[in-house]
A and B are shown apart, each in its own frame.
Chain A
Amino acid sequence: MSSLERDIEELEEAASSEYERRRVPEKALKGPSAFWGMYAGEHTAGTEFMIGPLFVKWGADAFSLIVGLLIGNLLAVLTWRYLTATIACEQRLTLYYKMEKIAGRGLVTLYNLANGLLFCFLAGSMITVSATAVGPFFPPGTIEMPTFQSTMPTGPAWIISCIAIGVAMTLVALKGYGVVAQVGHYAAPWMFLVFVACALVTLGRLGTADVWALLTPPAGTPKTISFLGIVFFSWFCNAAMHIGMADLSVLRFAKKPSAGWASASGMFLGHYVAWICAALLLIYWVRQHGVDPQVGKDPGTMVNDAVGWAGLICVIIAGWTTANPTIYRAGLAFQGMIPGISRTGATLLAGGLCIAAGIFPAFAMNLLDFVGIYGTILAPIGGIIVVDHFLADAVGIPRDPAERSGSAFNMVVLVAWLVPVAVAMWLYKTQGVFASFLPLPCAIACGLLYIVLSKLAARDAIAVRA
């Protein structure tokens, strides 16, 4: 290679250092430590302070929490390892670019809109949680804190807190994946210990180490989530990331598919230990201060009461380390949607939407339902990618059909995606089916429909040519 060619390659690389529209080259691959730290940081998040107490609100029993969460998180790790990481390391493309090859640019625009908006709402709920940690730094009453029943902003001081935290998160997300991984990497071990410290102090104050007894709701507590509900919630609360393949954008940097095991750090530290620790915080307030579990208590106040300023910093950073990759992903989604927009512009757009969503506590306070709906809408696309990657040759349909045909809008993908999602939304709205039960059947139905419709479309094309 001539020096000129090398210079051109370096310039192209500098212009696209995140490899959004090309395979990640060998030299940009990252070892497993980046992923263990990132997953631990991302899933030991501010929202864990919300989900644990929400389980208490929903009357979850001790067996469901201790055994159900174990099973659900194990299933999530296996999904990451054997589906997402395998495809990511073989394709080495972002979800959006892979989708463009299958569905065409026009349909990816539609998908990116849904994806980017849902990511923004999720990151917004993380901003909400982090903002509850600002209140205890000021005299009581300065910032009115939201409860489980809050849907609207509680006042100007609340709005200013959300904006300040959201701007800081967006600025870090602007720095790209490397900085995002670093922040999560540094904070993860300390953050996890603060969650555990909250639980230890709470157990001390309650005068018992019998976690099983503490997690058992008092007789007569209405139970609105079952054992299976807990299993499916923990399996599919990140459905968009694993079965929905959003983490192709992250795991494409992995040297080997075994990097998928790194998700275990997030699942078992964040979605197991941290959820139970956070649940104990609300149990203390219910037992000692008579707080109604249906109303709850904001995470900032509970954590400050248990472990002080270290806890408040943890709530802010825990939200931050999760919101960063989420804003980054949303930025990638918008970049895929708007031709010509820079990654900086796309990330700023995503950050602005996240801040707007964070100001409204409704998203954070209905997180158990929201993550299920979010997975139900986005996971089916993963079903199509799984079919394209593993089954296309076996069932006799083309791989990357839109790229082959030059199509900008693959109707087969649109129908295969929207029909199962429409049925699922109907079941959720009219039949009261728990949202976390829906992503798996939706993804399977979408994959099967994609095969059937692709075959029908191919048969029609042959008939027309004949």
Chain B
Amino acid sequence: MKAAATSVGLLALGGTIVPPAVFMLQSISGGPGSTPALSLDVVKTVMFVSTIAWFVAAPFWMKVE
């Protein structure tokens, strides 16, 4: 159970930070006025799904002493 929660938790954290990072890199490398391949709507959706996944996984993964 803990292994599954750890995997989901790590994926959730990745889903929270990777899409915005990709969005930033694509926006900056494309130059002013360019449209990044990864749209902001997709970034927002992935982050929201990741948020739900995080709060489901975290209590099984993270133990408070």
Contacts and interface: CB of A to CB of B under 8 A. Distances in A.
Interface string B37-65: 00010011101101100110011001111
Given A197-B47, A310-B51, A190 B59 contact: no
A207 B51 contact: no
Given A193-B17, A207-B31, A37 B64 contact: yes
Interface in A23-41: 30-31, 33-34, 37
Contacts of B36: 204
A371 to B, nearest CB: 28
Which range holds the interface residue count of chain A? Answer: 20 to 34
Given A182-B59, A197-B19, A207-B31, 4 more contacts: A187-B58, A190-B16, A201-B23, A207-B27
Interface centre among B26, B43, B59, by most A CB within 10 Å? B43
A190 B24 contact: no
B21 A200 contact: yes
A307 interface: yes
Nearest to A196: B17
A168 to B, nearest CB: 15
A310 B24 contact: no
A193 to B, nearest CB: 5
Interface in A199-229: 200-201, 203-205, 207-209
Contacts of B16: 190, 193-194, 197, 310
A345 interface: no
B64 A307 contact: no
Q: B-side binding surface: helix, strand, loop or mixed?
A: helix
16 contacts: A31-B65, A33-B64, A185-B64, A193-B16, A197-B19, A200-B17, A200-B21, A201-B40, A204-B26, A204-B27, A208-B28, A209-B28, A308-B48, A310-B47, A310-B50, A314-B51
Contacts of A197: 16-17, 19-20, 47
Classify the secondary structure of A's interface with B: helix
A185 B62 contact: yes
A190 B40 contact: no
A106 interface: no
Nearest to A311: B47
B28 A308 contact: no
A285 interface: no
B44 A309 contact: yes
B24 A313 contact: no
Nearest to B33: A207
A262 B54 CA distance: 23
Nearest to B38: A204
Contacts of B50: 310
Which of A178, A186, A310: most chain B Cβ within 10 A?
A310
Contacts of A308: 43-45, 47-48
A209 B45 contact: no
Counting chain B CB atoms within 10 Å of each CB, the highest count among A31, A190, A203 belongs to A190
Contacts of A156: none
A307 B64 CA distance: 29
Nearest to B59: A186
B20 to A, nearest CB: 4
Contacts of B24: 200-201, 203-204, 209
Contacts of A208: 28
A178 B64 CA distance: 9
A259 to B, nearest CB: 11
A313 B47 CA distance: 11
Contacts of A194: 16, 47, 51
A307 B41 CA distance: 9
Contacts of A209: 24, 28
Contacts of A309: 44, 47-48, 51
Contacts of A189: 13
